[in-house]
């Protein structure tokens, strides 16, 4: 039973984690793009 | 400069280099011998289990040795800037690939003969049992390694740490050669008939990758 | 084309969540408990459905590679990269859930059977592809050479499968549903699982495409790099 839970937990956590990571990257990049063009050095 | 001429030129140049300086074949031969000695020492002697493992071991040794040689096939070019000249050849660049791959194939065949000799001496392998089949496997197996290895070494030499990258790129793709060749060699040594499906598989592998590499090489030489 | 794909995330996201909810619900409430393996057998509904996305990812990498070589449009290369990354995630999940299933059922963490071994080799091909992209000097060369490797790698997969089949002979692996014919409720759950994970794959792919696009736009903006 614990094996069953482990398997599903691993999958769901990994997929969710990856999705969150992508979201963070999206936010950061969008901010940089909409910031002053050629902004900091 | 048409295709076959380029092929002959590239092949001739590489062969002359190999045979004149032994810069490549020498280290490969020594490496193969070293690995064979290590293996022979580490293996339990004359146990019933070993004969089954020997073909696979031999092909592994051969694969590792070929890494050495393949890594060198484009490295020297970039050092001397000859790649620039090669890429300006106004013909199908695929012929350059064919020339290089053939040179590598011949080098690998040489290493194969040397490795076979070492196995005969160190491990008492009786190659004579089914030598036509074993020769066939040797030719086709080496061809597969040469074709894929030449293509991938061209990719790897454009990178940092090509010494690391080439095996990483190569090993998963040549697994079929390793498996098929060692299987077929093992069966030939045991005196069994090699299933024709395996011949077809190995030959098909060689042919498919030869075609792919030939057509794709145009893009590879662009950098 | 790429923009339309990226915008579809708004639809794919909720759809994927819905799919996951239905999938998990079915696993818990609908799928029957199997006689021989017991409850552990239900790992089947998370292990096997990860395979279509894993292989689809690499197919997209090959298609992206072909597209890039022929058109030189970076959109194709972004597709290839995204396919590889997301596919690698699913491939890794197969390799993680497989042992978790194997241990209670067969007593070993790893079994050298056909499907697991082939997937392991696929994993290495993915990783090799990503290493190549990372290590090649010069981004245009990286895209070109990676496209080549993506194509060559995909061509190798059928041969790998055949070779592993040859080497491993009989398989411990439970035979695929298609061959055995699952009883109704199990089949239904499996289909729902596969669809749900494909939706998740599509959503993650599209988001990854967006990130790649944003990165490219950022790079285009800064001339001195």
Nearest to C131 among B165, B213, B222 (CB): B165
Q: Is the pLDDT of residue C202 over 90?
A: yes
Mean pLDDT of chain C: 88
Q: Is some CB atom of chain C closer than 8 A to the CB atom of A39?
A: no
pTM, 2 dp: 0.89
Using CA atoms, how far apart are residues C62 and C60, in angstroms rounded to an integer? 5
C177 falls in which pLDDT band (50, 70, 90)? Answer: very low
Q: Do chains B and A touch (3 or more CB pairs under 8 A)?
A: no
- At B70-91, the pLDDT tens digits run 887 777 666 556 655 666 666 6
Q: For an interface test with C, which of B155, B170, B220 has the most C Cβ atoms less than 10 Å from its Cβ?
A: B155
Using CA atoms, how far apart are residues B83 and B106, in angstroms rounded to an integer? 21
CB contact residues (below 8 A), chain C span 136-195, against chain A: none
Q: Which two tokens stand for residue C116?
A: 């697991």
- At C45-63, the pLDDT tens digits run 999 999 999 999 999 999 9
Residue B108, pLDDT score: 93
Query: In what helix (H) or strand (E) does residue B64 lie, and over which residues does it extend?
Result: helix B50-80
Would residue C118 be called left, alpha or beta, if left means φ above 0 and alpha means ψ between -120 and 50 degrees? alpha
Q: State the chains in contact with A (3 or more Cβ–Cβ pairs under 8 Å).
A: C
How many CB atoms sit inside 10 A of residue B42's CB? 7
Q: Which two tokens stand for residue B18?
A: 């190999």
Q: Which two tokens stand for residue A37?
A: 């063009």
Q: Is the pLDDT of residue C173 over 60?
A: no
CB contact under 8 A, C101 and A7: yes
Q: How far is CA C193 from CA A10, C47, C100, C183, in A?
A: 16, 10, 18, 15
* Contact residues for A35 (Cβ-Cβ < 8 A; gap 6+): none
- Asked if residue B180 lies in contact with residue B202, where contact means CB atoms within 8 angstroms, the answer is yes
Q: Which two tokens stand for residue C91?
A: 């491939």
Task: Name the closest residue on chain C to residue A7, using Cα atoms.
Answer: C97
- At B36-49, the pLDDT tens digits run 888 888 877 655 45
Residue B48, pLDDT score: 46
Q: Is some CB atom of chain A closer than 8 A to the CB atom of C217?
A: yes
Q: Which two tokens stand for residue B46?
A: 């004359």
Where along chain B do its domains lie?
3-222
Mean pLDDT of chain B: 85
Q: How far is CA B219 from CA A31, B37, B155, C15, in A?
A: 36, 41, 10, 40
Give residue C73's Cα distance to chain centre. 24
CB contact under 8 A, B172 and C125: yes
Q: What is the ipTM of this complex?
A: 0.87
pLDDT, mean of residues C188-196: 92
- At A1-41, the pLDDT tens digits run 788 899 999 999 999 999 999 999 999 999 988 875 555 54
Q: How far is CA B205 from CA B164, B174, C177, in A?
A: 25, 10, 30
Q: A13-27, B150-164, C145-159: which has the minimum mean pLDDT?
A: B150-164
Q: For an interface test with C, which of A2, A5, A7, A23 has the most C Cβ atoms less than 10 Å from its Cβ?
A: A7
Q: With DSSP H G I counted as helix, E B as strand and the rest as coil, what are the percentages for chain C, rounded to 5?
A: 85, 0, 15
Q: How far is C40 from chain A (nearest CA, A)?
A: 5
| Alpha-helical regions (H) of chain B | 3-21, 25-42, 50-80, 82-87, 94-123, 131-156, 162-189, 196-220
- At B92-111, the pLDDT tens digits run 778 889 999 999 999 999 99
Residue C126, pLDDT score: 94
- Asked if residue C113 lies in contact with residue C171, where contact means CB atoms within 8 angstroms, the answer is yes
Radius of gyration (Cα) for chain A, nearest Å? Answer: 18
Q: Is the pLDDT of residue C108 over 90?
A: no
CATH annotation of C2-221: 1.20.120
């Amino acid at each position: 039973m614990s094996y069953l839970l482990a398997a599903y937990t691993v999958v769901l956590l990994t997929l969710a984690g990856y999705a969150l990571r992508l979201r963070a990257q999206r936010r950061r990049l969008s901010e940089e793009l909409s910031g002053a063009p050629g902004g900091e050095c | 400069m048409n295709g076959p001429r380029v092929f002959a030129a590239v092949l001739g140049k590489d062969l002359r280099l190999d045979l004149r300086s032994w810069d490549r074949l020498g280290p490969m031969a020594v490496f193969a011998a070293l690995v064979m000695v290590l293996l022979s020492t580490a293996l339990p002697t004359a146990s019933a289990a070993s004969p089954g493992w020997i073909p696979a071991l031999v092909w592994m040794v051969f694969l590792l040795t070929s890494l050495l040689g393949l890594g060198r096939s484009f490295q020297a070019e970039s050092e001397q800037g000859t790649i620039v000249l090669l890429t300006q050849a106004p013909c199908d660049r695929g012929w350059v690939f064919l020339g290089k791959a053939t040179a590598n194939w011949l080098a690998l065949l040489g290493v194969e003969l040397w490795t076979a000799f070492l196995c005969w001496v160190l491990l008492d392998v009786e190659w004579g049992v089914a030598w036509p089949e074993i020769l066939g496997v040797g030719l086709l197996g080496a061809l597969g390694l040469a074709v894929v290895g030449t293509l991938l070494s061209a990719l790897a030499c454009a990178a940092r740490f090509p010494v690391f990258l080439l095996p990483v790129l190569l090993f998963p793709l040549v697994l079929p050669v390793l498996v098929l060749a060692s299987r077929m060699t093992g069966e030939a040594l045991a005196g069994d008939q090699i299933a024709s499906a395996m011949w077809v598989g190995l030959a098909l592998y060689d042919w498919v990758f030869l075609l792919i590499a030939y057509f794709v090489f145009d893009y590879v030489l662009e950098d | 084309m790429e923009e339309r794909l990226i915008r579809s995330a708004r639809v794919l996201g909720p759809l994927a969540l819905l799919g996951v909810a239905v999938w998990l619900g079915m696993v818990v409430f609908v799928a029957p408990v199997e006689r021989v393996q017991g409850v552990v057998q239900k790992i089947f509904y998370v292990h096997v459905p990860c395979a279509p996305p894993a292989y689809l990812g690499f197919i997209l990498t090959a298609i992206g590679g072909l597209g890039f070589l022929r058109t030189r449009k970076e959109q194709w290369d972004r597709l290839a990269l995204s396919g590889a990354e997301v596919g690698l995630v699913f491939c890794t999940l197969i390799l993680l859930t497989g042992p978790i299933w194997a241990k209670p059922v067969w007593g070993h963490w790893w079994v050298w059977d056909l499907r697991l071994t082939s997937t392991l080799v696929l994993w290495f091909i993915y990783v090799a592809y990503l290493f190549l992209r990372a290590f090649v000097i010069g981004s245009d060369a990286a895209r070109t050479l990676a496209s080549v490797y993506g194509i060559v790698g995909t061509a190798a997969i059928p041969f790998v499968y055949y070779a592993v089949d040859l080497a491993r002979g009989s398989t411990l692996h439970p035979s695929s549903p298609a061959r055995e014919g699952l009883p109704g409720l199990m089949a239904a759950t499996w289909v729902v699982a596969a669809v749900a994970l494909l939706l998740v794959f599509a959503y993650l792919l599209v988001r990854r495409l967006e990130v790649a696009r944003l990165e490219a736009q950022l790079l285009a903006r800064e001339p001195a790099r």
